[in-house]
């Protein structure tokens, strides 16, 4: 049973380019969460999605960031017109049920570097 998969593991972009981060949840999991980890900091919640729906995006910056979890395929976190401050590790997690009582299983992360 494969765990949460994220790709790419490392992504380098120049300022102004777009970054697309992909997350495939564990089999049987329909809840996906995205977190951002800045150097020397803990994980900060960004967005929670179920299939085809954004449930909670309270941690998502209002501009340039968007997320989706289509009926078919992986969840995508998209960052438009990246800036140096977007450099961070982005982690995806999934759970079978709603997160409040269920364990979130994390992927290995995508490390974004903006030059």
For another protein, the closer of residues 1 and 72 by Cβ is 1
Q: Which of 81, 43, 40, 79 is nearest to 61 (CA)?
A: 79
- Of the ranges 13-21, 61-69, 74-82, 94-102, which one interacts with another protein (CB under 8 A)? 94-102
Pairwise CA distance, residues 5 & 98, whole Å:
19
Report if residue 52 touches another protein, rule: CB under 8 A.
Answer: no
How big is the chain by its Cα radius of gyration, in Å? 13
For another protein, the closer of residues 19 and 46 by Cβ is 46
Q: Which two tokens stand for residue 11?
A: 């992504």
Interface residue with another protein, options 26, 43, 54, 76 (CB under 8 A)? 43
């Amino acid at each position: 049973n494969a765990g949460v998969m994220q790709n790419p593991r490392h992504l380098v972009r120049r300022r102004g380019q777009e970054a697309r981060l992909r997350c495939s949840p564990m089999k049987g999991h329909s809840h996906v969460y995205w977190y951002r980890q800045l150097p020397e900091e803990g994980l900060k919640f960004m967005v929670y999605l179920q299939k085809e729906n954004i449930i909670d995006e309270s941690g998502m910056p209002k501009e340039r960031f968007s997320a989706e979890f289509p009926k078919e395929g992986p969840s995508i976190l998209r960052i438009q017109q990246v800036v140096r401050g977007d450099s961070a590790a982005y982690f995806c997690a999934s759970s079978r049920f709603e997160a409040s009582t269920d364990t979130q299983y994390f992927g290995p992360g995508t490390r974004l570097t903006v030059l």
